[in-house]
């Protein structure tokens, strides 16, 4: 079980919640899972930091299962929302409810066989491409209008748009909660058109932007290229010291921190995520976060030479957000 939990209940008082930052076993006693349907025992892990591209990024304290808890039967119960396997199964069942709105529509999350679920990225990306740029998907009322049709076989009526977007947010919440890739690879596989995409080519955490850059260059997914078809979920650090601004193409730019990455020959390159959001309200909301998880079709550019001897070759990685369903707050523990 890979979920990292920010708050727990106390064994001495199930009604009391305590944050991982404030928890001390000596002072408060045993900590329990916050899901009242579970209440399994948890252990507190102190705050620390991670070195990402030479920069120390704080990792908040969290609660997790004790070692071997799942093996000895003292892990999360089946109905617990922190049980990854059961959460995936519930999300699959929820996604199938799209058939109630339109029999011709297809679920975003689908369980073809066994316990493995398929996350159908092509449906999500086609859907995102049909919405007006000015719509704020965080506003439930904005999903009640007609909107534009997709022109695909997956979404046949406008009334299914809201359920699709809600499911997209649910899946991204799961990604944000479960950090370890092996756990995600165990329960979800990604389908995009005729391709099966491994998590290693879809989900890029902090400190992994150089792998994303290599992947984009390898597949020719460059800024301005006509064929840009490979989506990714990318964790980016928001630069709150700089203001959101209106870019030349009409989108709102949310400043992000540059990643200084070490490449194979030991030299360094600077990769700057450029996050563009079509809705100003959503852009300013993202700007208040420390980290964000963005699902988009990223593009990049060839490395530019170092502008000065002490600086590194550099390139942008563009990420465009047209819907709140594409982005959620992200930290190195549970969201």
Question: Can you tell me the distance from the alpha carbon of 160 to that of 156, in angstroms, rounded to the nearest whole number?
Answer: 8
Question: Can you tell me the distance from the alpha carbon of 188 to that of 122, in angstroms, rounded to the nearest whole number?
Answer: 15
Is residue 140's pLDDT more than 60?
no
Arithmetic mean of pLDDT, 302-324: 87
Which of 40, 118, 133, 153 has its CA nearest to residue 326?
A: 133
Confidence class of residue 129 from pLDDT cuts 50, 70 and 90? low
CA distances from 268 to 57, 142, 220, 261 (A): 19, 44, 22, 5
Is residue 88's pLDDT more than 90?
no
Give the pLDDT confidence score for residue 25 in this predicted structure: 92
pLDDT tens, position by position, 35-54: 888 999 999 988 877 665 56
How buried is 3 (Cβ within 10 angstroms: 0-12 exposed, 13-18 middle, 19+ buried)?
buried
Taken in order of first residue, the domains within the chain and their CATH numbers are: 7-64 (no CATH), 84-191 (no CATH), 203-329 (2.40.50)
Which of 323, 214, 191 has its CA nearest to residue 262?
A: 214
Mean pLDDT of the chain: 79
CA distances from 91 to 129, 188, 233, 312 (A): 23, 11, 19, 44
The count of C-alpha atoms lying within 13 angstroms of the C-alpha of 204, restricted to the half-sphere facing its C-beta, is: 27
Arithmetic mean of pLDDT, 170-174: 75
Task: Give CA torsion, residues 70, 76, 82, 88, to 10 deg.
Answer: 70
Is residue 285's pLDDT more than 90?
yes
* Secondary structure, 3-state, 41-89: EEEEECCEEEEECCEEEEECCEEECCCCCCCCCCCCCCCCCCCHHHHHH
Q: What is the largest CA-CA distance in the chain?
A: 62
Arithmetic mean of pLDDT, 248-253: 88
Confidence class of residue 266 from pLDDT cuts 50, 70 and 90? confident
- Cβ–Cβ < 8 Å for 208, 238: no
Give the pLDDT confidence score for residue 310 in this predicted structure: 80
Is residue 31's pLDDT more than 70?
yes
Arithmetic mean of pLDDT, 202-228: 84
Span between the terminal Cα atoms of the chain, in Å: 16
Give the pLDDT confidence score for residue 148 in this predicted structure: 39
Confidence class of residue 151 from pLDDT cuts 50, 70 and 90? very low
Give the pLDDT confidence score for residue 144 in this predicted structure: 38
Question: Can you tell me the distance from the alpha carbon of 113 to that of 189, in angstroms, rounded to the nearest whole number?
Answer: 12
Highest average pLDDT, of 84-93, 216-225, 243-252, comes from 243-252
């Amino acid at each position: 079980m890979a979920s990292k939990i920010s708050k727990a209940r106390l064994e001495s008082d199930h009604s009391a919640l305590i944050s991982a930052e404030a928890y001390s076993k000596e002072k408060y006693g045993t900590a329990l899972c916050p899901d009242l349907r579970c209440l399994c025992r948890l252990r507190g892990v102190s705050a620390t930091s991670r070195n990402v591209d030479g920069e120390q990024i704080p990792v908040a304290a969290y609660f997790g299962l004790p070692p071997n808890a799942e093996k000895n039967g003292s892990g999360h119960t089946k109905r617990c929302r922190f049980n990854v396997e059961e959460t995936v199964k519930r999300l699959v069942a929820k996604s199938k409810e799209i058939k109630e709105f339109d029999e011709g529509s297809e679920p975003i999350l689908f369980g073809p066989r066994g316990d493995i679920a398929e996350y159908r990225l092509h449906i999500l990306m086609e859907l995102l491409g049909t919405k007006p740029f000015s719509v704020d998907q965080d506003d439930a009322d904005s999903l009640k209008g007609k909107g534009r049709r997709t022109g695909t076989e997956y979404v046949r009526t406008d009334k299914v748009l809201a359920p699709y977007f809600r499911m997209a947010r649910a899946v991204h919440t799961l990604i944000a909660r479960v950090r370890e890739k092996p756990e995600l690879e165990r329960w979800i596989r990604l389908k995009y058109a005729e391709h099966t995409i491994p998590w290693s080519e879809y989900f890029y955490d902090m400190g992994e932007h150089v792998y994303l850059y290599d992947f984009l260059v390898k597949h020719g997914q460059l800024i301005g290229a006509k064929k840009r078809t490979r989506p990714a979920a990318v964790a980016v650090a928001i630069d709150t010291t700089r203001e959101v601004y209106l870019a030349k193409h009409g989108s709102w730019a949310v400043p992000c921190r540059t990643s200084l990455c070490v490449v194979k020959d030991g030299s360094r390159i600077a990769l700057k995520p450029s996050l563009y959001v079509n809705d100003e309200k959503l852009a300013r909301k993202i700007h208040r976060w420390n980290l964000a998880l963005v699902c988009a079709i990223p593009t990049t550019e060839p490395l530019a030479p170092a502008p000065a001897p002490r600086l590194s070759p550099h390139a942008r990685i563009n990420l465009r957000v047209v819907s709140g369903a594409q982005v959620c707050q992200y930290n190195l523990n549970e969201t």
